[in-house]
Chains A and B, each alone.
Chain A
Protein backbone atom coordinates (compact mmCIF):
# COMPACT_ATOMS: atom_id res chain seq x y z
CA UNK A 1 0.00 0.00 0.00
CA UNK A 2 0.86 3.68 0.00
CA UNK A 3 3.29 5.11 2.58
CA UNK A 4 3.42 8.86 3.15
CA UNK A 5 6.25 10.40 5.17
CA UNK A 6 6.13 14.00 6.39
CA UNK A 7 8.89 16.27 7.72
CA UNK A 8 9.50 18.08 9.95
CA UNK A 9 7.24 17.03 12.81
CA UNK A 10 7.55 20.47 14.42
CA UNK A 11 8.45 23.82 12.90
CA UNK A 12 8.83 27.26 14.47
CA UNK A 13 9.21 30.40 12.37
CA UNK A 14 9.18 34.11 13.01
CA UNK A 15 6.16 36.01 11.81
CA UNK A 16 6.74 37.12 8.23
CA UNK A 17 9.14 34.31 7.41
CA UNK A 18 8.37 31.39 5.12
CA UNK A 19 7.56 27.84 6.19
CA UNK A 20 8.11 24.69 4.14
CA UNK A 21 6.74 21.23 4.91
CA UNK A 22 7.79 18.23 2.84
CA UNK A 23 6.15 14.89 2.11
CA UNK A 24 7.19 11.82 0.18
CA UNK A 25 5.00 9.02 -1.08
CA UNK A 26 5.75 5.50 -2.23
CA UNK A 27 3.06 4.56 -4.75
CA UNK A 28 3.67 6.05 -8.19
CA UNK A 29 -0.01 5.52 -9.00
CA UNK A 30 -1.08 8.18 -6.47
CA UNK A 31 -2.44 11.15 -8.33
CA UNK A 32 -4.14 13.47 -5.84
CA UNK A 33 -2.31 15.27 -3.04
CA UNK A 34 -4.29 17.41 -0.57
CA UNK A 35 -2.99 19.44 2.34
CA UNK A 36 -5.06 19.86 5.49
CA UNK A 37 -4.80 22.35 8.34
CA UNK A 38 -6.05 21.38 11.79
CA UNK A 39 -6.56 24.08 14.38
CA UNK A 40 -6.85 23.26 18.05
CA UNK A 41 -10.15 21.56 18.87
CA UNK A 42 -11.26 21.30 15.25
CA UNK A 43 -11.26 18.74 12.48
CA UNK A 44 -8.78 19.03 9.59
CA UNK A 45 -9.74 21.41 6.81
CA UNK A 46 -8.48 21.38 3.24
CA UNK A 47 -6.27 24.35 2.41
CA UNK A 48 -4.87 23.41 -0.99
CA UNK A 49 -4.56 20.36 -3.23
CA UNK A 50 -2.75 19.34 -6.38
CA UNK A 51 -3.26 16.66 -8.99
CA UNK A 52 -0.49 14.76 -10.71
CA UNK A 53 -0.91 16.52 -14.03
CA UNK A 54 0.24 19.80 -12.44
CA UNK A 55 3.65 20.68 -11.01
CA UNK A 56 2.72 23.69 -8.91
CA UNK A 57 -0.38 25.41 -7.57
CA UNK A 58 -0.67 28.66 -5.68
CA UNK A 59 -3.41 30.27 -3.62
CA UNK A 60 -2.42 33.63 -2.15
CA UNK A 61 0.28 32.90 0.49
CA UNK A 62 0.09 29.15 0.10
CA UNK A 63 1.66 27.05 -2.65
CA UNK A 64 2.18 23.37 -3.27
CA UNK A 65 4.79 21.81 -5.55
CA UNK A 66 4.83 18.26 -6.83
CA UNK A 67 7.76 16.25 -8.22
CA UNK A 68 6.30 13.03 -9.62
CA UNK A 69 9.67 11.61 -10.58
CA UNK A 70 11.04 11.93 -7.06
CA UNK A 71 7.63 11.20 -5.51
CA UNK A 72 7.62 14.18 -3.22
CA UNK A 73 5.46 17.23 -2.70
CA UNK A 74 5.82 20.29 -0.52
CA UNK A 75 3.71 22.98 1.11
CA UNK A 76 5.06 26.52 1.09
CA UNK A 77 3.59 29.26 3.27
CA UNK A 78 4.97 32.75 2.72
CA UNK A 79 4.66 35.81 4.97
CA UNK A 80 3.54 33.65 7.87
CA UNK A 81 1.08 35.04 10.40
CA UNK A 82 0.24 33.86 13.94
CA UNK A 83 -3.07 32.47 12.66
CA UNK A 84 -1.08 30.05 10.48
CA UNK A 85 -0.11 28.23 13.69
CA UNK A 86 -1.72 24.79 13.48
CA UNK A 87 -1.00 21.17 12.61
CA UNK A 88 -0.65 20.49 8.88
CA UNK A 89 -1.19 17.11 7.25
CA UNK A 90 -0.29 15.99 3.75
CA UNK A 91 -2.06 13.10 2.07
CA UNK A 92 -1.89 11.00 -1.08
CA UNK A 93 -4.70 9.27 -2.92
CA UNK A 94 -5.35 7.23 -6.05
CA UNK A 95 -8.48 8.00 -8.03
CA UNK A 96 -9.24 4.32 -8.53
CA UNK A 97 -9.40 3.44 -4.81
CA UNK A 98 -12.63 5.16 -3.88
CA UNK A 99 -11.01 8.28 -2.54
CA UNK A 100 -9.05 6.58 0.25
CA UNK A 101 -6.44 8.98 1.62
CA UNK A 102 -3.08 8.06 3.13
CA UNK A 103 -1.99 10.76 5.57
CA UNK A 104 1.40 11.90 6.76
CA UNK A 105 2.08 12.11 10.49
CA UNK A 106 1.58 15.86 10.67
CA UNK A 107 3.67 18.99 11.23
CA UNK A 108 2.99 21.30 14.16
CA UNK A 109 3.72 24.82 12.92
CA UNK A 110 4.23 27.67 15.39
CA UNK A 111 4.50 31.23 14.11
CA UNK A 112 6.18 33.44 16.68
CA UNK A 113 4.90 37.04 16.72
Chain B
Protein backbone atom coordinates (compact mmCIF):
# COMPACT_ATOMS: atom_id res chain seq x y z
CA UNK B 1 0.00 0.00 0.00
CA UNK B 2 1.10 3.53 -0.76
CA UNK B 3 1.90 5.39 2.37
CA UNK B 4 2.17 9.13 2.82
CA UNK B 5 3.15 10.21 6.29
CA UNK B 6 3.19 13.66 7.84
CA UNK B 7 5.42 14.53 10.75
CA UNK B 8 2.71 15.80 13.10
CA UNK B 9 -1.05 15.37 13.42
CA UNK B 10 -1.45 18.47 15.59
CA UNK B 11 0.83 21.47 15.95
CA UNK B 12 0.51 24.67 17.95
CA UNK B 13 2.85 27.57 17.20
CA UNK B 14 3.19 31.22 18.08
CA UNK B 15 2.90 34.13 15.67
CA UNK B 16 6.26 34.84 14.06
CA UNK B 17 7.70 31.36 14.59
CA UNK B 18 9.27 29.42 11.74
CA UNK B 19 7.31 26.23 11.14
CA UNK B 20 8.36 23.09 9.28
CA UNK B 21 5.83 20.53 8.09
CA UNK B 22 7.37 17.33 6.80
CA UNK B 23 5.91 14.82 4.37
CA UNK B 24 7.37 11.47 3.34
CA UNK B 25 6.10 9.01 0.72
CA UNK B 26 7.31 5.47 0.20
CA UNK B 27 6.24 4.76 -3.40
CA UNK B 28 9.00 6.53 -5.36
CA UNK B 29 6.50 9.05 -6.74
CA UNK B 30 7.82 11.95 -8.78
CA UNK B 31 5.03 14.38 -7.90
CA UNK B 32 4.35 15.77 -4.44
CA UNK B 33 1.86 18.42 -3.33
CA UNK B 34 0.99 20.60 -0.36
CA UNK B 35 -2.60 21.74 0.16
CA UNK B 36 -4.40 23.62 2.85
CA UNK B 37 -7.97 22.72 3.69
CA UNK B 38 -10.39 25.26 5.14
CA UNK B 39 -14.16 24.91 5.69
CA UNK B 40 -16.11 25.97 2.63
CA UNK B 41 -12.97 26.44 0.55
CA UNK B 42 -12.05 22.86 -0.22
CA UNK B 43 -8.44 21.94 -0.92
CA UNK B 44 -6.25 24.74 -2.20
CA UNK B 45 -2.84 24.02 -3.67
CA UNK B 46 0.08 25.81 -2.04
CA UNK B 47 3.11 24.32 -3.83
CA UNK B 48 3.95 21.22 -5.79
CA UNK B 49 7.04 19.50 -7.06
CA UNK B 50 7.71 17.29 -10.08
CA UNK B 51 11.19 16.24 -9.12
CA UNK B 52 13.98 16.66 -6.62
CA UNK B 53 14.96 20.31 -6.10
CA UNK B 54 12.10 21.39 -8.35
CA UNK B 55 9.09 23.40 -7.14
CA UNK B 56 6.13 25.18 -8.64
CA UNK B 57 3.76 27.68 -7.05
CA UNK B 58 0.17 26.66 -6.64
CA UNK B 59 -2.80 28.92 -6.11
CA UNK B 60 -1.90 30.29 -2.67
CA UNK B 61 1.91 30.31 -2.23
CA UNK B 62 2.17 33.59 -0.32
CA UNK B 63 3.71 33.15 3.11
CA UNK B 64 4.98 29.64 2.33
CA UNK B 65 8.08 28.03 0.86
CA UNK B 66 8.99 24.41 0.17
CA UNK B 67 12.01 22.18 -0.03
CA UNK B 68 12.55 18.91 -1.85
CA UNK B 69 16.08 17.67 -1.31
CA UNK B 70 15.18 13.98 -1.63
CA UNK B 71 12.59 12.33 -3.84
CA UNK B 72 10.62 10.88 -0.96
CA UNK B 73 10.47 14.02 1.21
CA UNK B 74 8.67 17.32 0.62
CA UNK B 75 8.74 20.00 3.29
CA UNK B 76 6.45 22.98 3.73
CA UNK B 77 7.94 25.98 5.52
CA UNK B 78 6.14 28.88 7.10
CA UNK B 79 8.89 31.47 7.46
CA UNK B 80 6.97 33.59 9.96
CA UNK B 81 3.71 32.01 11.03
CA UNK B 82 0.61 34.18 11.19
CA UNK B 83 -2.83 33.51 12.64
CA UNK B 84 -4.39 33.33 9.17
CA UNK B 85 -2.24 30.27 8.49
CA UNK B 86 -4.19 28.30 11.08
CA UNK B 87 -5.53 25.44 8.97
CA UNK B 88 -5.40 21.77 8.07
CA UNK B 89 -2.40 20.99 5.87
CA UNK B 90 -2.49 17.97 3.58
CA UNK B 91 0.40 16.44 1.68
CA UNK B 92 -0.10 14.22 -1.37
CA UNK B 93 2.02 12.28 -3.83
CA UNK B 94 1.41 10.76 -7.24
CA UNK B 95 3.10 9.09 -10.14
CA UNK B 96 0.32 9.74 -12.63
CA UNK B 97 -3.41 9.87 -12.06
CA UNK B 98 -4.47 9.24 -8.46
CA UNK B 99 -3.02 11.44 -5.75
CA UNK B 100 -2.42 9.71 -2.41
CA UNK B 101 -2.94 11.84 0.66
CA UNK B 102 -1.40 11.83 4.10
CA UNK B 103 -3.55 12.12 7.25
CA UNK B 104 -3.04 15.87 7.55
CA UNK B 105 -1.50 18.25 10.09
CA UNK B 106 -3.84 20.55 11.96
CA UNK B 107 -1.79 23.70 12.63
CA UNK B 108 -2.92 26.34 15.08
CA UNK B 109 -1.06 29.64 15.17
CA UNK B 110 -1.66 31.66 18.33
Residues on A lying within 8 angstroms of B by beta carbon are: 1, 6, 9, 32, 34, 36, 41-46, 49, 89, 95, 98-101, 103-106
Do A99 and B31 touch (CB < 8 A)?
Answer: yes
Point out the residues of chain B lying under 8 angstroms from A41, CB to CB.
103
Do A101 and B99 touch (CB < 8 A)?
Answer: yes
Interfacial residues of chain B within 55-85, with CB under 8 A of chain A in the complex: 56, 58-59
A-B contact pairs, 29 of them (CB 8 A): A6-B42, A9-B40, A34-B99, A42-B103, A43-B4, A43-B102, A44-B43, A45-B101, A46-B100, A49-B97, A89-B42, A95-B96, A98-B31, A98-B56, A99-B94, A99-B96, A99-B97, A99-B99, A100-B48, A101-B33, A101-B45, A101-B99, A103-B35, A103-B42, A103-B43, A105-B40, A105-B41, A105-B42, A106-B42
**Top 9 closest pairs, chain A to chain B, by CB:** A43-B101, A105-B42, A103-B43, A103-B42, A44-B101, A46-B98, A43-B103, A99-B94, A106-B42
Report the interface size class on chain B.
20 to 34
Point out the residues of chain B lying under 8 angstroms from A46, CB to CB.
98-100
CA gap between A1 and B58 in the complex, in Å: 11
Residues on B lying within 8 angstroms of A by beta carbon are: 4, 31, 33, 35, 40-45, 48, 50, 56, 58-59, 90, 92, 94, 96-104
Do B42 and A104 touch (CB < 8 A)?
Answer: yes
CA gap between A33 and B31 in the complex, in Å: 18
CA gap between A44 and B101 in the complex, in Å: 6
Point out the residues of chain B lying under 8 angstroms from A49, CB to CB.
97-98
CB distance from A2 to the nearest CB of B (A): 10
CA gap between A89 and B101 in the complex, in Å: 13
CA gap between A106 and B96 in the complex, in Å: 23
CB distance from A20 to the nearest CB of B (A): 19
CB distance from A108 to the nearest CB of B (A): 10
Point out the residues of chain A lying under 8 angstroms from B99, CB to CB.
34, 46, 99, 101
Point out the residues of chain A lying under 8 angstroms from B4, CB to CB.
43
